Amino acid sequence: MFDTKIAIVIRDDLATWQKLNVTAFLTSGIVAQSPAIIGEAYRDAAGHVYNPMSIQPVVVLVGEQETLRTIHRRSLERDVMTSAYIEEMFSTGHDVANREVFAQFSPDDAKLVGIALRADKKVVDKITKGAKMHP
């Protein structure tokens, strides 16, 4: 049905609130990169209007820190744009501070807690190999 795939990979040792928070932030990056994936507004039987949502399913996977580093490296090697969230961003309180702390790390030393990507299905499957479906 879709030529592309959206995958979000979350580090497996996070608290539930962290997993949900990171997933939401990473999803916003995918939408910002590809606004065309947002469909029409939803309407209920009473005529209330609700926000439009993604027309494409999102796969949520988990992996250990090393798995996320590998996925990050593979995405960079294939020049696939990603959303990335690092551990230090949990201690900041706003977007500017998030970007400042993010800029202090390279792919080799970043403590990734989540990464998201949207690309050709086969490419996403190759990049995310080693991650498992979130339970």
d(CA 85, CA 114): 5
pTM of this prediction?
Answer: 0.93
d(CA 131, CA 9): 7
Tens-place pLDDT, residues 44-80: 999 999 999 999 999 999 999 999 999 999 999 999 9
Tens-place pLDDT, residues 93-107: 899 999 999 999 999
Tell me the chain's radius of gyration from C-alpha atoms.
Answer: 16
Q: How many residues are there in the chain?
A: 135
Between 6-10, 14-18, 92-96, 117-121, the lowest mean confidence (pLDDT) is in 92-96
pLDDT of the residue at 93: 86
Domains and CATH numbers, the chain: 4-27+56-133 (3.40.1490.10)
Residue 40 token pair: 């029409």
